[in-house]
A and B are shown apart, each in its own frame.
Chain A
Protein backbone atom coordinates (compact mmCIF):
# COMPACT_ATOMS: atom_id res chain seq x y z
CA UNK A 1 0.00 0.00 0.00
CA UNK A 2 1.38 3.36 -1.05
CA UNK A 3 0.21 6.68 0.36
CA UNK A 4 0.82 9.33 -2.30
CA UNK A 5 0.29 13.08 -2.06
CA UNK A 6 -0.85 14.68 -5.28
CA UNK A 7 1.28 17.82 -5.72
CA UNK A 8 -1.52 19.50 -7.69
CA UNK A 9 -4.56 19.23 -5.41
CA UNK A 10 -2.70 18.39 -2.19
CA UNK A 11 -4.76 15.28 -1.44
CA UNK A 12 -2.97 12.44 0.31
CA UNK A 13 -4.59 9.16 -0.64
CA UNK A 14 -3.79 5.51 -0.99
CA UNK A 15 -2.69 4.14 -4.31
CA UNK A 16 -6.10 2.97 -5.59
CA UNK A 17 -7.12 6.61 -6.06
CA UNK A 18 -4.18 6.93 -8.47
CA UNK A 19 -2.94 5.13 -11.56
CA UNK A 20 0.68 4.27 -12.16
CA UNK A 21 2.21 5.50 -15.42
CA UNK A 22 5.56 3.73 -15.38
CA UNK A 23 9.12 4.98 -15.48
CA UNK A 24 9.52 8.76 -15.47
CA UNK A 25 11.83 11.13 -17.32
CA UNK A 26 12.06 9.10 -20.51
CA UNK A 27 13.36 10.77 -23.63
CA UNK A 28 10.68 10.30 -26.25
CA UNK A 29 12.75 9.35 -29.28
CA UNK A 30 10.69 9.61 -32.44
CA UNK A 31 11.20 11.25 -35.86
CA UNK A 32 14.85 11.34 -36.85
CA UNK A 33 16.14 9.11 -34.07
CA UNK A 34 17.95 5.85 -34.65
CA UNK A 35 16.11 2.54 -34.57
CA UNK A 36 18.07 1.57 -31.46
CA UNK A 37 17.09 4.74 -29.60
CA UNK A 38 13.45 4.32 -30.63
CA UNK A 39 13.41 0.67 -29.54
CA UNK A 40 14.98 1.61 -26.22
CA UNK A 41 12.39 4.34 -25.66
CA UNK A 42 9.52 2.01 -26.49
CA UNK A 43 10.56 -1.16 -24.72
CA UNK A 44 13.55 -0.84 -22.43
CA UNK A 45 12.91 0.15 -18.84
CA UNK A 46 15.44 0.22 -16.02
CA UNK A 47 13.25 -1.49 -13.42
CA UNK A 48 15.88 -1.15 -10.69
CA UNK A 49 15.69 -2.92 -7.36
CA UNK A 50 15.68 0.22 -5.25
CA UNK A 51 14.95 3.85 -6.04
CA UNK A 52 12.47 4.41 -8.84
CA UNK A 53 11.19 7.65 -10.36
CA UNK A 54 7.70 7.12 -11.68
CA UNK A 55 4.78 8.87 -13.34
CA UNK A 56 1.43 8.69 -11.56
CA UNK A 57 -1.96 10.11 -12.38
CA UNK A 58 -4.51 11.28 -9.80
CA UNK A 59 -7.13 9.49 -11.84
CA UNK A 60 -10.02 9.49 -9.35
CA UNK A 61 -9.15 12.97 -8.07
CA UNK A 62 -8.03 16.10 -9.88
CA UNK A 63 -6.95 14.11 -12.94
CA UNK A 64 -3.40 15.49 -13.09
CA UNK A 65 -0.22 13.59 -13.92
CA UNK A 66 2.69 13.99 -11.51
CA UNK A 67 5.96 12.31 -10.52
CA UNK A 68 6.81 10.20 -7.50
CA UNK A 69 10.18 9.07 -6.11
CA UNK A 70 10.02 5.88 -4.09
CA UNK A 71 11.88 2.71 -3.21
CA UNK A 72 10.58 -0.35 -5.02
CA UNK A 73 11.86 -2.61 -2.23
CA UNK A 74 10.76 -0.86 0.97
CA UNK A 75 7.90 1.12 -0.69
CA UNK A 76 9.16 4.23 1.09
CA UNK A 77 8.04 7.37 -0.70
CA UNK A 78 10.61 10.14 -0.86
CA UNK A 79 8.25 12.66 -2.37
CA UNK A 80 5.99 13.60 -5.26
CA UNK A 81 6.67 16.47 -7.61
CA UNK A 82 5.46 18.40 -10.65
CA UNK A 83 5.05 16.72 -14.02
CA UNK A 84 6.56 19.79 -15.71
CA UNK A 85 10.17 18.85 -15.06
CA UNK A 86 12.91 16.61 -16.49
CA UNK A 87 14.38 15.63 -13.11
CA UNK A 88 13.41 15.47 -9.44
CA UNK A 89 13.68 18.68 -7.40
CA UNK A 90 16.84 19.12 -5.32
CA UNK A 91 15.10 18.50 -1.98
CA UNK A 92 13.85 15.08 -3.11
CA UNK A 93 17.29 14.14 -4.48
CA UNK A 94 18.76 15.18 -1.11
CA UNK A 95 16.21 13.10 0.79
CA UNK A 96 17.03 10.02 -1.30
CA UNK A 97 20.81 10.59 -1.01
CA UNK A 98 20.53 10.88 2.77
CA UNK A 99 19.28 7.31 2.90
CA UNK A 100 20.92 5.84 -0.22
CA UNK A 101 24.26 7.66 -0.67
CA UNK A 102 25.17 5.37 -3.58
CA UNK A 103 22.12 6.39 -5.65
CA UNK A 104 22.57 8.72 -8.63
CA UNK A 105 19.75 10.82 -10.10
CA UNK A 106 20.94 10.07 -13.64
CA UNK A 107 22.17 6.54 -14.26
Chain B
Protein backbone atom coordinates (compact mmCIF):
# COMPACT_ATOMS: atom_id res chain seq x y z
CA UNK B 1 0.00 0.00 0.00
CA UNK B 2 1.35 3.43 -0.90
CA UNK B 3 1.90 6.02 1.83
CA UNK B 4 -1.02 7.81 3.48
CA UNK B 5 -0.42 11.02 1.52
CA UNK B 6 -1.54 9.31 -1.67
CA UNK B 7 -5.12 9.05 -0.36
CA UNK B 8 -7.75 11.79 -0.43
CA UNK B 9 -10.16 9.98 1.88
CA UNK B 10 -9.77 7.04 4.25
CA UNK B 11 -12.29 5.13 6.32
CA UNK B 12 -10.92 2.63 8.80
CA UNK B 13 -14.10 2.10 10.79
CA UNK B 14 -15.11 -1.11 9.01
CA UNK B 15 -13.83 -4.65 8.75
CA UNK B 16 -11.85 -3.54 5.69
CA UNK B 17 -9.98 -0.26 5.26
CA UNK B 18 -11.46 1.78 2.41
CA UNK B 19 -9.34 4.51 0.87
CA UNK B 20 -9.82 6.80 -2.13
CA UNK B 21 -6.58 7.48 -3.93
CA UNK B 22 -5.59 10.92 -5.09
CA UNK B 23 -5.37 11.46 -8.86
CA UNK B 24 -3.79 8.39 -10.44
CA UNK B 25 -2.21 8.98 -13.83
CA UNK B 26 -3.40 6.55 -16.48
CA UNK B 27 -3.73 6.30 -20.23
CA UNK B 28 -6.33 4.40 -22.25
CA UNK B 29 -5.07 2.85 -25.45
CA UNK B 30 -7.51 1.74 -28.13
CA UNK B 31 -6.00 -0.34 -30.92
CA UNK B 32 -6.41 -3.75 -32.51
CA UNK B 33 -3.95 -5.76 -30.39
CA UNK B 34 -2.29 -7.59 -33.29
CA UNK B 35 1.16 -9.17 -32.98
CA UNK B 36 2.80 -6.13 -34.59
CA UNK B 37 0.88 -3.74 -32.34
CA UNK B 38 1.82 -5.72 -29.23
CA UNK B 39 5.47 -5.52 -30.24
CA UNK B 40 5.17 -1.77 -30.81
CA UNK B 41 3.50 -1.28 -27.41
CA UNK B 42 6.29 -3.26 -25.76
CA UNK B 43 8.83 -1.01 -27.47
CA UNK B 44 7.00 2.14 -26.37
CA UNK B 45 6.40 1.06 -22.76
CA UNK B 46 9.24 -1.33 -22.07
CA UNK B 47 6.87 -4.02 -20.83
CA UNK B 48 4.87 -6.64 -22.71
CA UNK B 49 1.09 -6.52 -23.18
CA UNK B 50 -0.57 -8.81 -20.62
CA UNK B 51 -2.72 -11.78 -21.61
CA UNK B 52 -6.50 -11.42 -21.83
CA UNK B 53 -8.17 -10.42 -18.52
CA UNK B 54 -4.80 -9.93 -16.82
CA UNK B 55 -2.85 -7.04 -15.37
CA UNK B 56 0.95 -6.93 -15.27
CA UNK B 57 3.48 -4.14 -14.77
CA UNK B 58 0.71 -1.56 -14.57
CA UNK B 59 -0.86 -2.55 -17.89
CA UNK B 60 -4.41 -3.88 -17.69
CA UNK B 61 -6.21 -5.79 -20.46
CA UNK B 62 -9.59 -4.06 -20.78
CA UNK B 63 -10.93 -5.56 -24.02
CA UNK B 64 -9.59 -7.22 -27.17
CA UNK B 65 -8.83 -3.71 -28.46
CA UNK B 66 -8.24 -1.73 -25.27
CA UNK B 67 -5.56 -1.40 -22.59
CA UNK B 68 -5.50 0.70 -19.43
CA UNK B 69 -1.94 1.78 -18.68
CA UNK B 70 -0.91 3.19 -15.31
CA UNK B 71 1.70 5.89 -15.76
CA UNK B 72 4.72 5.07 -13.59
CA UNK B 73 6.44 7.63 -11.38
CA UNK B 74 8.83 9.78 -13.37
CA UNK B 75 6.77 9.41 -16.54
CA UNK B 76 3.86 11.57 -17.73
CA UNK B 77 0.70 10.72 -19.71
CA UNK B 78 1.77 13.17 -22.42
CA UNK B 79 5.18 11.53 -22.86
CA UNK B 80 3.64 8.06 -22.81
CA UNK B 81 1.03 9.01 -25.43
CA UNK B 82 3.78 10.51 -27.59
CA UNK B 83 5.84 7.28 -27.40
CA UNK B 84 2.80 5.11 -28.20
CA UNK B 85 1.79 7.34 -31.10
CA UNK B 86 5.31 7.23 -32.51
CA UNK B 87 5.63 3.44 -32.28
CA UNK B 88 2.19 2.22 -33.33
CA UNK B 89 1.65 2.03 -37.06
CA UNK B 90 -1.93 0.71 -37.05
CA UNK B 91 -4.93 2.97 -36.33
CA UNK B 92 -4.87 3.77 -32.62
CA UNK B 93 -6.04 6.22 -29.99
CA UNK B 94 -4.23 6.99 -26.74
CA UNK B 95 -5.93 9.31 -24.27
CA UNK B 96 -5.04 10.66 -20.83
CA UNK B 97 -7.94 9.44 -18.67
CA UNK B 98 -6.45 10.39 -15.28
CA UNK B 99 -9.26 12.86 -14.57
CA UNK B 100 -11.94 10.45 -15.78
CA UNK B 101 -11.23 7.77 -13.20
CA UNK B 102 -11.44 7.27 -9.45
CA UNK B 103 -9.19 4.68 -7.80
CA UNK B 104 -9.81 2.95 -4.47
CA UNK B 105 -7.80 0.72 -2.19
CA UNK B 106 -9.43 -2.00 -0.07
CA UNK B 107 -7.09 -3.32 2.59
CA UNK B 108 -7.78 -6.22 4.92
CA UNK B 109 -8.27 -9.96 4.73
CA UNK B 110 -12.02 -9.47 4.15
CA UNK B 111 -11.51 -7.28 1.05
CA UNK B 112 -12.81 -10.06 -1.22
CA UNK B 113 -15.98 -10.32 0.85
CA UNK B 114 -16.73 -6.60 0.40
CA UNK B 115 -16.57 -6.91 -3.39
CA UNK B 116 -18.47 -10.18 -3.39
CA UNK B 117 -21.45 -8.32 -1.93
CA UNK B 118 -21.94 -6.35 -5.12
CA UNK B 119 -20.07 -7.98 -7.99
CA UNK B 120 -21.35 -11.05 -9.90
CA UNK B 121 -17.87 -12.54 -9.83
CA UNK B 122 -16.40 -15.66 -8.21
CA UNK B 123 -13.99 -14.06 -5.76
CA UNK B 124 -12.89 -17.23 -4.01
CA UNK B 125 -9.10 -17.23 -3.48
CA UNK B 126 -8.64 -20.09 -5.95
CA UNK B 127 -10.87 -18.47 -8.59
CA UNK B 128 -9.63 -14.87 -8.50
CA UNK B 129 -5.86 -14.66 -8.12
CA UNK B 130 -2.97 -12.22 -8.27
CA UNK B 131 -2.62 -10.93 -11.84
CA UNK B 132 -6.33 -11.33 -12.67
CA UNK B 133 -8.06 -8.16 -13.86
CA UNK B 134 -11.84 -8.06 -13.89
CA UNK B 135 -14.23 -5.54 -15.40
CA UNK B 136 -17.70 -5.94 -13.99
CA UNK B 137 -20.26 -4.08 -11.91
CA UNK B 138 -20.24 -3.33 -8.19
CA UNK B 139 -23.80 -2.60 -7.21
CA UNK B 140 -24.85 -0.59 -10.26
CA UNK B 141 -21.43 0.93 -10.91
CA UNK B 142 -19.16 -0.18 -13.75
CA UNK B 143 -15.81 -1.01 -12.16
CA UNK B 144 -12.58 -2.88 -12.70
CA UNK B 145 -10.50 -4.42 -9.94
CA UNK B 146 -7.44 -6.54 -9.26
CA UNK B 147 -5.39 -7.82 -6.35
CA UNK B 148 -2.27 -5.99 -5.20
CA UNK B 149 -1.69 -8.63 -2.56
CA UNK B 150 -3.72 -11.36 -0.87
CA UNK B 151 -5.33 -8.76 1.41
CA UNK B 152 -5.35 -5.71 -0.85
CA UNK B 153 -7.57 -4.86 -3.82
CA UNK B 154 -7.41 -1.87 -6.15
CA UNK B 155 -10.68 -0.77 -7.74
CA UNK B 156 -11.27 1.71 -10.55
CA UNK B 157 -14.52 3.42 -11.56
CA UNK B 158 -15.60 6.60 -13.32
CA UNK B 159 -14.64 9.77 -11.45
CA UNK B 160 -18.21 11.07 -11.53
CA UNK B 161 -19.16 8.22 -9.19
CA UNK B 162 -16.23 8.61 -6.79
CA UNK B 163 -18.18 9.77 -3.74
CA UNK B 164 -21.00 7.30 -4.29
CA UNK B 165 -18.53 4.44 -4.74
CA UNK B 166 -16.60 5.44 -1.61
CA UNK B 167 -19.78 5.46 0.48
CA UNK B 168 -20.93 2.17 -1.08
CA UNK B 169 -17.61 0.55 -0.14
CA UNK B 170 -17.61 1.96 3.41
CA UNK B 171 -21.17 0.71 3.87
CA UNK B 172 -20.32 -2.73 2.50
CA UNK B 173 -17.22 -2.90 4.72
CA UNK B 174 -19.09 -2.36 8.01
CA UNK B 175 -17.94 -4.48 10.90
CA UNK B 176 -20.09 -7.53 11.57
CA UNK B 177 -21.53 -7.50 8.04
CA UNK B 178 -19.12 -9.92 6.35
CA UNK B 179 -20.88 -12.95 4.85
CA UNK B 180 -17.77 -15.08 5.56
CA UNK B 181 -18.40 -17.14 2.46
CA UNK B 182 -14.91 -16.82 1.03
Residues of A within 8 A of B (CB): 8-11, 13-14, 16-17, 59-64
Contact = CB atoms under 8 A, between A and B. Distances in A.
A60 B142 contact: yes
B38 to A, nearest CB: 17
Nearest to B61: A9
B63 A8 contact: yes
B53 interface: yes
Nearest to A13: B120
Contact of B120 (A8, A9, A10, A17): A17
Interface of B: 52-53, 62-64, 66, 120-121, 134-137, 142
B63 A63 contact: yes
A10 B52 contact: yes
A54 to B, nearest CB: 19
B29 to A, nearest CB: 14
B136 A61 contact: yes
Contacts of B64: 8-9, 62, 64
A14 B135 contact: no
Contacts of A8: 63-64
Nearest to B135: A61
> Which of A8, A13, A16 has most B Cβ within 10 Å?
A13
A13 B122 CA distance: 9
Contacts of A11: 53, 134-135
Contacts of A63: 63, 66
Given A14-B120, A16-B120, A17-B120, A9 B137 contact: no
B59 to A, nearest CB: 16
Q: Select the residue from A14, A59, A62 with max chain B CB neighbours within 10 A.
A: A62
Smallest CB-CB A-B distances: 5 pairs:
A62-B63, A60-B137, A14-B120, A61-B135, A60-B142
Nearest to A14: B120
Contacts of B63: 8-9, 61-64
Given A9-B135, A13-B121, A60-B142, 14 more contacts: A8-B63, A8-B64, A9-B63, A9-B64, A11-B53, A13-B136, A16-B120, A59-B142, A60-B135, A60-B136, A62-B63, A62-B135, A64-B63, A64-B64
Contacts of B137: 16-17, 60
Contacts of B135: 9, 11, 60-62
Contacts of B120: 13-14, 16-17
A87 B136 CA distance: 28
Nearest to A60: B137
